[in-house]
A and B are shown apart, each in its own frame.
Chain A
Amino acid sequence: MSHAARLLVAALRDPTSVATLGADDWTALLTAARAERLIGTLAHRLDTRAVPPGVARILADAAEGAAQERRAALWEAEMARRALAPLGVPVVLLKGTAFVAAGLDAGQGRSIGDLDILVPRADLPAVEAALLDAGWEWVKDDAYDDAYYRRWMHELPPLIHRDRDRMIDVHHTILPPTARPTPDAAALLADAVPLGNGLSILSPADMIVHAAVHLFGDGDLAGGLRNLWDIDRLLREYDGTDFWAALAARAGHHQLRREVGRAVRLAHDLYATPIPPNWRVRRGADALYRRRLVARDGWGRQPYPFTRLGFYVRSHWLRMPPAMLARHLWVKARRAR
């Protein structure tokens, strides 16, 4: 584990661990936290009165930045709600926006980029039309990418709002149809929890399942420490006797038992998340994932390039069968030249 990543994990896990840090360690910790998009979370977690003044200023900036991202995320959700309300279709918020909209611990200080929503697949054309009508526009004008998204991905091609410059990803399920596991999208929608304003969030178990998919499925574990922190916070918040049985059943139902099990073990490993004994079955590959998650150095760089490449191919593997992957990489490579 790199020194900076170790400091970051320790600070999140046990905020008192920063008491003895000198300037160089603080620099490494803060740089790694920024690179992992965990600086707002760190600012929320640490007692800024007990850190050096220069560090407190940086953390105060980060806390304000996170508050601003939270506000922007909630506003994008509200704008999508207003645009889609006339359709009467269920709209489920995903990821960071869902956490802050529901007031979950996982949303505290979290950085939030795009708005991700889940809608029924049958309603995609109407949703797309309503969003275009309300000022969202296509980001990509490349025919291959567009066809690729529409045929193989679990979402519409990304849209960006022409005035607010914010992206929306409209999903109809949580993994591409090409992926080997096939989550039950209808069940995700059926069990979603209404927020009372026309929007919903996933049920607790589904939220963990999706967070695990997000951790392993979206691009070579990039931002993995943050995604794993989400899982830690969600597990602590939802912890309870019935919850773990429900999570196991739900993971099995979505054919994602392996991913969810690994995510839970990694959270326990790195962030000391309390998990039941029967979830602590160690698997050989865990160490590889762990090493990849904590590779960030004190300048914010990610070493271990060969591990990275392996994970890049692997993360595509989860989403695409081999022949299709080869075709996709070939088209990408040709265009890159």
Chain B
Amino acid sequence: MTDPVYAVDPPSVRLAVPLDALIAVYHRPSGATHLLAAPSPELLDALADGPADAASLRDRLAAHYDLNGEDDAVGAIAARMEELVAAGLAWRA
């Protein structure tokens, strides 16, 4: 089985307000509010460039962030993405 490919709505449907370590995100299509911690907002932003699987997402994030210390970045990204899917902020394309 191939790794799931994730997709998100365009950034314009989300309203993000940083509160402290957490970011409050209002998602217009659902009317739901989410409190997100890093790296979830970064993952949503990275997916604005188009659908991707966890490995491609790691590569996209690596272009902007230092991921050297991460042992299993792909596994962590996949876990965060599944949470975002359950929350309705992303889906398996």
A residues at B contact (CB < 8 Å): 68, 71-72, 74-75, 78-79, 82, 135, 164
Contacts and interface: CB of A to CB of B under 8 A. Distances in A.
Nearest to B88: A79
Is chain B's binding surface mostly helix, strand, loop or mixed?
A: loop
Contacts of B91: 82
Contacts of A68: 31
B19 interface: no
Is chain A's binding surface mostly helix, strand, loop or mixed?
A: helix
Contacts of B30: 71-72, 75, 164
A68 B29 CA distance: 10
11 contacts: A68-B31, A71-B28, A71-B29, A71-B31, A72-B31, A75-B29, A75-B30, A82-B91, A135-B86, A164-B30, A164-B32
Contacts of A74: 29
Residue of A75, A78, A135 with most chain B CB atoms under a 10 A cut-off:
A75
B86 A78 contact: no
Interface string B22-35: 00000011111000
A135 B88 CA distance: 12
A295 B86 CA distance: 45
A78 B29 contact: yes
Nearest to B31: A71
Interface string B74-93: 00000000000010100100
A215 to B, nearest CB: 30
Contacts of A82: 91
Rank and list the top 7 A-B pairs by shortest CB-CB distance, nearest first: A75-B30, A71-B31, A82-B91, A75-B29, A72-B31, A79-B88, A68-B31
